[in-house]
Amino acid sequence: MGVNVGIDFGTSNSGVAIYQGEQIQILPIDTKNIVPEVVKTILYITRDYRTFIGQEAVELYYKQNINRQRHFVKKWTGEIDYHGADMHYVRDVYVYIDELQPGRLMQFIKTALRSEKYTGTQVFDRFYSLSDIISTYLEALKQRAEALIKDEISHVTLGRPVKFSQNPELDQKAQDTLQQAALEAGFKRVEFELEPIAAALYYERSLSKPQNVLIFDFGGGTLDLTIMRLGDPHDRRVYASGGIGIAGSDFDRAIIQNRMLSHFGKGQVQHDPEILNLINTIPDWAALPELSTPLARGALQRAIQAREAPVRLKALESLIFNDLAFSFYNMVETTKITLSTQGAAIAEMKEKDLDIWELYTRLQFEKDILEQRQQIEKVLLDTLSASGLEPAQIDAVVKTGGSSNIPVFIEMLARIFGSEKVKSSDVFNSVTAGLAIRAYQSA
């Protein structure tokens, strides 16, 4: 017989909590992190297949990768059969492999569950399916938690967004993959709870009388909305739920798209499709590290020698070939977070051949995410409409998740429901805590 825990496997951050009927204990799962109760959903696999998560993964990645040497070798990966009407031939396929790469860093793992096409990735000589990647992360999380509580963890209640996908088949497939991963990680029983419901359970503990509550769960990967009746454990009702695959990582991408690409030559490079392709790949965090090939370097160096925006392209070369992608995305995210508390922030990064300085205001940010804001407001109103309730009938709006602190969304909620109703739950831990409550209830 082991312990039951709740795990919030988030897009940006994760957490583990235990509830045994008295007090919820959020485990200090990452002692190296500024907030130890939160662990970054980052996995680093070294060349000898040792695995690291959270801040430890980030630190090791920096130590091993920034400005390191590279050596590319051309490796045969397979062949393609060409069949024509009167011909047939086989062509070999080669890829460039960096022999000196010390490890692979993986971020936004949960986002891959939403993807129809993503099946996994090659990590050195082994292929990791998506289930393998997630199970590797969950296993490390489980081991850390077991070390803290000095007991075996057998059962887990995992959070999941209201919808991984609009397509019910893909949605089910994503949950199955997550379940499979949890079982592979060593959990004997795996249960799921919707993340906003988990957040609601946590909020419910503070209620003295029943309320109609809108849970606005806005994290790194998705926005989940749930309108439910809370306060009486025997009469909980879900009026409506909805969501959209827009969240923090999409805002980061919008900032990069609108404000960062000019630092890498966008607008200056005109008729060079190879270089334009490199520039346009920058917002894609998963694809950027893959650009560091001899072909890309050759193209960049040719363009620099041809005096085609040499300073900007030198910066692009530095970003790609000095393994600065992770620092770059972090810098963008930090700028965005800063704008939640002040009207302007500096997006700044100084590295070899790279000098980004961008004064970024809240107004600019709100302009850059205008389209997403409109979509979010539409989903919010649709969900409200589906619940059959009027805004005035909502007693409280509980916001949780990192992106729920963005002022423009707080203003949106205040405008629709009234500012007095908008309440902030524990931004990072309310879902984890709610999952622990659910795990206790289902034990």
Partner 1 sequence: MISQDKIDEWIREVQERPASAELIIRYIANRLSELSSRADELAADNIELLSGRKVEEYENRIASLEYQLELLKRQFGGEVILPSEVPALKPMVETINLLVYNPLGQVLRLEIDPTSLVSGETLAVLNAQAPPGDTPINLLVTGSREELLFIFDSGRTVAMPVSQVPLSNKVDLDWTQAFIQEPQVKEELAAIQPIAKMTLYETCLQASRRGFVKKMKTSFLASHITENYIGSGVKVRADKTWGITFANKDDAYSLVSQEGYIFSMQVERLPVAIDEVIRLGITDHIVSAFIVGQKPSILFITQNGKAVHRDASWLEAATSFKTKGQALLSRERREGGTRIVGAAPVDDEAWGVFLHGDGAITSYQLRELISSGSIPSGKSSGVVLSFWCFTRPEATPKPNRDRSDQRS
Residues found near partner 1 in the complex (CB under 8 A): 69, 71, 262-263, 342-344, 346, 357, 359, 361-364, 367
How far apart are the C-alpha atoms of 130 and 292, rounded to whole Å? 23
Instruction: Kindly tell me which of 353 and 426 has the beta carbon lying closer to partner 1.
Output: 353
Taking the complex as a whole, the smallest distance from the CB of residue 348 to partner 1 amounts, in Å, to 9
| Cβ proximity of 355 and 318 under 8 Å | no
Taking the complex as a whole, the smallest distance from the CB of residue 71 to partner 1 amounts, in Å, to 7
The answer for residues whose C-beta is within 8 angstroms of residue 383's C-beta and 6 or more apart is 225, 227, 240, 241, 242
- Please provide the size of the chain in residues: 443
Instruction: Kindly tell me which of 168 and 343 has the beta carbon lying closer to partner 1.
Output: 343
Taking the complex as a whole, the smallest distance from the CB of residue 123 to partner 1 amounts, in Å, to 23
Return the closest-CA partner of residue 224 out of 417, 111, 380, 408.
380
* Identity of the amino acid at 212: N
The answer for residues whose C-beta is within 8 angstroms of residue 202's C-beta and 6 or more apart is 24, 425, 426, 430, 431, 433, 434, 437
Return the SS3 of 218: strand
Taking the complex as a whole, the smallest distance from the CB of residue 143 to partner 1 amounts, in Å, to 34
Displacement of CA 381 from its chain's centroid (Å): 25
Taking the complex as a whole, the smallest distance from the CB of residue 320 to partner 1 amounts, in Å, to 20
- If one counts every other C-beta atom within 10 angstroms of the C-beta of residue 32, the result is 13
The answer for residues whose C-beta is within 8 angstroms of residue 117's C-beta and 6 or more apart is none
Taking the complex as a whole, the smallest distance from the CB of residue 262 to partner 1 amounts, in Å, to 6
Instruction: Kindly tell me which of 98 and 290 has the beta carbon lying closer to partner 1.
Output: 98
Instruction: Kindly tell me which of 31 and 361 has the beta carbon lying closer to partner 1.
Output: 361
Instruction: Kindly tell me which of 8 and 358 has the beta carbon lying closer to partner 1.
Output: 358
How far apart are the C-alpha atoms of 98 and 94, rounded to whole Å? 13
Instruction: Kindly tell me which of 127 and 357 has the beta carbon lying closer to partner 1.
Output: 357
- Residue whose pair of structure tokens reads 């409109």 in the numeric block: 374
Mutual angle of helices 273-281 and 294-305, in 10-degree steps: 120
How far apart are the C-alpha atoms of 423 and 313, rounded to whole Å? 46
Instruction: Kindly tell me which of 284 and 355 has the beta carbon lying closer to partner 1.
Output: 355
Taking the complex as a whole, the smallest distance from the CB of residue 146 to partner 1 amounts, in Å, to 40
Displacement of CA 129 from its chain's centroid (Å): 18
Instruction: Kindly tell me which of 144 and 362 has the beta carbon lying closer to partner 1.
Output: 362
Taking the complex as a whole, the smallest distance from the CB of residue 300 to partner 1 amounts, in Å, to 19
| Cβ proximity of 215 and 199 under 8 Å | yes
